Copies of this chain bind each other. A is one copy, B any other.
Amino acid sequence: MRDAYHDDLDAVSATLVSMAAMVDNAIVRASKALLESDRALAEEVIAADAAIDTVQHELDNRTVDLMARQAPVASDLRVLVTSLRMSADLERMGDLAAHIAKAARMRFPACAIPVELQMTILEMSRVASDLVNKTALVIRDRDIEGALQVDRDDDQMDRLHRQLFITLLDPAWPHGIETAIDVTLIGRYYERFADHAVSVARRLYYSVTGEFAAPKN
């Protein structure tokens, strides 16, 4: 039988899972706005970021309130401290999705991504969405094997990111400096998004085991 305190801990975890779903929604729609040059959708993603911030704020207040009321020690304290860190990662992922939406808006009605890079960016957006979805399941199921898998899956993002630079640095690159700057920054946003997903998964691993997952390299 669970007591009210452990119900509260479960609710913290459930809120992290729903934050991850909001962040997934943001990255999927920001990517669509970017690749389809959809200004209205970009505006929606930018406006929706405030809701993620609000959820984080309320979650952190609840988490600190639990610390104050319950004076947890050992593993319960570890879960709460880790929750604060995971919510910060997820909030930042929302910011990065909003940055991608802002890049889409800035170049409207043109597309910030030239046609020969659209497939790479589409793949980056799919990897990003996949990582955050897997991270949500890792949190929900306190799945330490899944956490290690998220870490390994991030290699795909690194590969796509390198591919982006190979295209940019081709001597035949015809799109000029402004587009190169856009692509560089957008690539960086996807890469950082993935890094934060990995960070959330690694924190979950620590939350469950009290040990740090070994670095993948």
Contacts and interface: CB of A to CB of B under 8 A. Distances in A.
Contacts of A71: 71
Interface string A46-79: 0000000000000000001001100111100110
Contacts of A104: none
A158 to B, nearest CB: 15
A81 interface: yes
Interface in A180-206: 180-181, 184-185, 188
Interface stretch (A20-28, A109-117, A122-130, A165-173): A165-173
Contacts of A177: 168-169, 173, 177, 180
A64 B77 contact: yes
A79 B32 CA distance: 42
Nearest to A178: B169
How many copies of the polypeptide does the oligomer hold?
Answer: 2
A88 interface: yes
A137 interface: no
A9 interface: no
Nearest to A183: B181
Contacts of A168: 177, 181
Contact of A185 (B72, B81, B169, B188): B188
Contacts of A181: 165, 168-169, 180-181, 184
A148 interface: no
A117 B188 CA distance: 22
Contacts of A160: none
Contacts of A67: 67, 77, 81
Contacts of A180: 177, 180-181, 184
A85 interface: yes
Given A88-B88, A169-B177, A184-B184, 7 more contacts: A68-B74, A71-B71, A84-B84, A84-B85, A168-B181, A180-B180, A184-B185
Interface of A: 64, 67-68, 71-74, 77-78, 81, 84-85, 88, 165, 168-169, 173, 177-178, 180-181, 184-185, 188
